[in-house]
Amino acid sequence: MWRDAMAATMSPMHVSSQHSSDFWGETRLLTLEDVLLWPVAMQASRYRRTPKLIRQGDPELYHITLVLPGSGRLRVDHNDRRHMSLVNDLYILNSSYPCDVEVEENELAVGIGVEIPRRHFPLATERAIGRVLGQRIPGQEGFGAVLAHFLSHLVARNSAHQPSDVPRLKQILLDLVTGLVARELDAETALSKETRQRNKFLLIRSYINRHYHDPGLTPRTVAAAHFISPRQLHRLFEAEGITAAAYIRGRRLAAARRRLADPAQYTTSIQSIARRCGYTSAAHFSRSFSAAYGMAPREYRELEHRQQLDTELRTLIRPPVGGRDPIPA
């Protein structure tokens, strides 16, 4: 069953495992039109695509794997390259070339697989991708980090997206893959102007998401960190219908709101929460929060706290099935 599932999702392969008598694996299939994402967790196993299998049929796909926390190391042999993929690494395979991927013995493999038809990329991009096949790509910096975050977000929140979102999400994914390859090859000038701009925006947005807690983060420092002018930064955000300052402010407020609603941080002072979200003044934070959410931070926290207590109380006093008192008289 697992071999058939992998063949239907990726391409026909020889699949083997030392745990074949009690093998365990689970996956889901998410679709962005003809692009497939499949979060997966499975026991140690080996996957080989041979020249004979390729001659029998080739779906002409690029396969991308993002290795997630909880996974063991993956040995990857593809396109005359051999490496060990670690947690947060990415690698790209071409279904038209032989490959051999093995999860280390007694380890789990946890990750996200992506299948992209090769026809989505122009010939120049395909040639570029060919130069990074089978290569270990770090997923904790640059476009690797942006792509890893995007894939994790899609998998974790797929139910939050509407059918009308699918074409745009697919295009973002294709742009990120193209940008990742260009960065690895230092060939960004080969990308179209529109793709470069979208990729630059995604990279900057990811940077803000990682540094919003820094009180020194401003549109000017963001622009300087990416070697562009504040005017260029403004144009990038203007194309998305927002300003850089508003995005930074919204990111900080959203983080503070989550912390205020977190029961584990109920005793943490509001001043401390404000500071951890990039505010140097508790008064400024309170004014900004009130303007955004219609109530002061303390009021919001108390309201959330009461609602959580009410929910817990209703759970405790809910009558049992049949309405009978479980406590004997």
Total Cβ atoms within 10 A of residue 216 = 9
CA distance 20 to 16: 7
Tokens of 195: 């793709």
Task: Give the position of tokens 């963001």.
Answer: 222
Name which of 204, 206, 235 is nearest 221 in CA terms.
Answer: 204
Tens of pLDDT, residue by residue over 3-19, are: 999 998 999 999 999 88
Tens of pLDDT, residue by residue over 128-148, are: 888 889 999 988 877 788 899
Which pTM was predicted?
0.64
Write down the pLDDT at residue 241: 87
Average pLDDT, integer, range 240-268: 92
Tens of pLDDT, residue by residue over 25-65, are: 999 999 999 999 999 999 999 999 999 999 998 999 999 99
Confidence check: pLDDT of 186 > 70? no
Tens of pLDDT, residue by residue over 268-280, are: 999 999 999 999 9
- Which residues neighbour 202 within 8 Å (Cβ) at sequence distance 6 or greater? 146, 150, 172, 175, 176, 179
Write down the pLDDT at residue 187: 54
Task: Give the position of tokens 């080739």.
Answer: 58
CA triplet 273, 246, 165: central angle to 5 degrees?
A: 105
